[in-house]
Structure 1
Amino acid sequence: MTTFSALTSLAGQEPAEALAEALEQLDPPPSGVGVFEIEDGSGLWEVGGYFDAAPDPAALALLAVVHGAQDFSVSELPEIDWVAKVKRELVPVEAGRFFVYGSHDADRVPEGRVALLIEAAMAFGTGHHGTTLGCLRALDRMVSAGQVRHRVADIGCGTAVLAMAAASVWPEPVLASDIDAVAVEVAEANVAANGLQGRVRCIEATGFDHPELAQAAPFDLVFANILKGPLIDLAPAMGAHVAPDGQAILSGLLTTQADDVIAAYAAAGFDVAEREDIGDWATLVLTRRKG
């Protein structure tokens, strides 16, 4: 079946979300709507709608004008089996001792590695992106240095690959949270697929705003592989929930955005312990100062 996309951009998260809500009210309505921050430091957000029939250009033009957005770009999408395509192109990822793979590559898992299964249909956060890869490498270096973290949280967990990696190498259960209920369901499915029930607890939460996170704090280590804006917003809460000498592994930010994140976390009581840039993406390991 032929489908169509209609994409635009505008400044600010709230205006973008308002446009997305208005887009959902079109008749006939789109089959799906997405809102994404454009990760180039511009402050622009992309709003996209997906339609089973060509959308009304006049209605789209009116929405763009009313919400101060760029003109919608409408495209006809080819009929592609995206899961099959991902399976063909999604090769296993190695990050030190960690081996992240899809079930189609189960026969390629090397002996003696920490193997983490992420299905191709749930590919976001598999480790192929420079941000997730950087976090896994940082964790691998910690383990190689003989460090053990007993209280660990993964904030904005996505597929929960980072939480599962920590739970696979350290003795205590890990808390994995995400603001999106669908992401939590995906995380729970991945936890079950990897036999880590009881080792990773998945919860829906905004930042640290959940009783289980409050009860488990202060944490020895917190992962936050999200975006620059949410990372900066999270800095004060991170300072309140990470133990002195505890660490945070942060990513989801461009190399050009790292200094702003470092400054926000310095104000919250953190110093930079490590930084690794992979392509355009930066991963930070921060240590909370004592006192």
Structure 2
Amino acid sequence: MLEGLPPNGASHMMRVDAPEPEARAIAEFLGETFDPAEVATSAFEIEDRAEGSGWAVEVYFGEPPDEDEVRELVALVSPAAAAAAVFSTLEKKDWVSASLEGLAPVRIGRFVVHGAHDRDSVGPSAIGIEIEAALAFGTGHHGTTQGCLAAIDSIGKRSRPARTLDVGTGTGVLAMAAARLFHRPVLASDIDKVAVTTARANARANKAAPEIRFLHAPGLGAGPFRAGAPFDLILANILLAPLKGLAKPMRPLLAREGRVVLSGLLDSHANAALAAYRAQGLRLVRRRSIAGWTTLELAARVHRPKAPQARR
């Protein structure tokens, strides 16, 4: 369910097979319980099973987990799954190099997100964004990233934002998409230092570095956010809880007729996020749902003076 790779330095994993509703619920619950910078959850369909189809949950930990505590949490959703959960230790090489190996290019609008092995498949009219295995989230193969890229592409058909802010940039894929499409300044931030380092390297490899400033910062309180405002476009592909917390501090950074693109939201979470931003004076422009994940495109409400009525 979550985009990209396990947390930086992940060395432990829990896996359990479960029916789809339980698998999604377990991943969602654990994802909201633990710090996303330390724990990543994934729920996915198991392919090529001999008997029907099924789902699995994998949880990656940056530190050795308390197995009893994790089982107790899983049991709140499914006692059977808690009993069947298997914990294991793994090396970085087991998932870093394999994370993007064999993944097909992802085409969303004018964007093609691809690995080095598919570099030659990007057409001359497409905007290629090359992402290799790295210690950060954001490969383009998840519904949240695809929804954001579709929103950026759509916005680019109507306008050319002068300033873009990408909160929780991960691999920098959204920041690079904005920079490559708009050719205007982008500020990209992340709470994770390794993510910032990775995103900066990706931007250099994609010849987008001159237009992107990367910032290691939690939240939106650092000075560079205020100095770079107002932003015509703000992107945030994270999770429900931090998205709700960003609604109020984000609003003063948004330009008068700016747009906000939010993702990292299960379809069932979208209305909760929308309510938080509507309370800050934003309106819904478009809602996209891809593989059970919602992307919201919002705009600032602009109160224009009414035209004077003609005198009779």
TM-score relative to the length of structure 2: 0.73
CA contact (8 A) 1:249 1:283 kept: yes
Report the AA paired with residue 114 of structure 2: Y
Q: Which residue of 2 aligns with 1:159?
A: 171
Identity %, equivalent residues: 41
| Per-residue deviation, 1:75 | 3.2
Matched, 1:290 2:299: no
Task: Identify if the C-alpha distance between structure 1 residues 257 and 108 changes in structure 2 by more than 3 Å, giving closer, same or farther.
Answer: same
Length, aligned pairs only: 259
Task: Identify if the C-alpha distance between structure 1 residues 200 and 278 changes in structure 2 by more than 3 Å, giving closer, same or farther.
Answer: same
CA-to-aligned-CA distance 1:174-210 (integer Å, 9 cap, x gap): 0000011111111111111112222111111112222
Matched, 1:240 2:252: yes
| Per-residue deviation, 1:84 | 5.0
Report the AA paired with residue 201 of structure 2: A
Give ranges in structure 1 of 5+ residues lacking alignment.
Answer: 21-32, 40-45
Task: Identify if the C-alpha distance between structure 1 residues 171 and 260 changes in structure 2 by more than 3 Å, giving closer, same or farther.
Answer: same
Residue aligned with 1:198, SS: helix
- Between the aligned partners of 2:12 and 2:161, the Cα distance in structure 1 is 48
Matched, 1:35 2:39: yes
Matched, 1:101 2:105: no
- Between the aligned partners of 1:149 and 1:13, the Cα distance in structure 2 is 33
Task: Identify if the C-alpha distance between structure 1 residues 68 and 123 changes in structure 2 by more than 3 Å, giving closer, same or farther.
Answer: closer
Report the AA paired with residue 271 of structure 1: R
CA-to-aligned-CA distance 1:118-160 (integer Å, 9 cap, x gap): 1134573121100000010011111223x11001100011111
Residue aligned with 1:272, SS: strand
Report the AA paired with residue 155 of structure 2: M
Q: Which residue of 2 aligns with 1:174?
A: 186
CA contact (8 A) 1:7 1:48 kept: no
Q: Which residue of 2 aligns with 1:92?
A: 105
- Between the aligned partners of 1:14 and 1:76, the Cα distance in structure 2 is 22
CA contact (8 A) 1:93 1:101 kept: yes
CA contact (8 A) 1:5 1:50 kept: no
Counterpart of 1:218 (choices 212, 226, 230) is 230
Report the AA paired with residue 181 of structure 2: V
Report the AA paired with residue 274 of structure 2: I
Report the AA paired with residue 150 of structure 2: R
Task: Identify if the C-alpha distance between structure 1 residues 82 and 48 changes in structure 2 by more than 3 Å, giving closer, same or farther.
Answer: closer
TM-score relative to the length of structure 1: 0.77
- Between the aligned partners of 1:6 and 1:142, the Cα distance in structure 2 is 40
Report the AA paired with residue 252 of structure 1: G
CA contact (8 A) 1:116 1:165 kept: yes
| Per-residue deviation, 1:47 | 7.2
Report the AA paired with residue 100 of structure 1: V
Matched, 1:136 2:149: yes
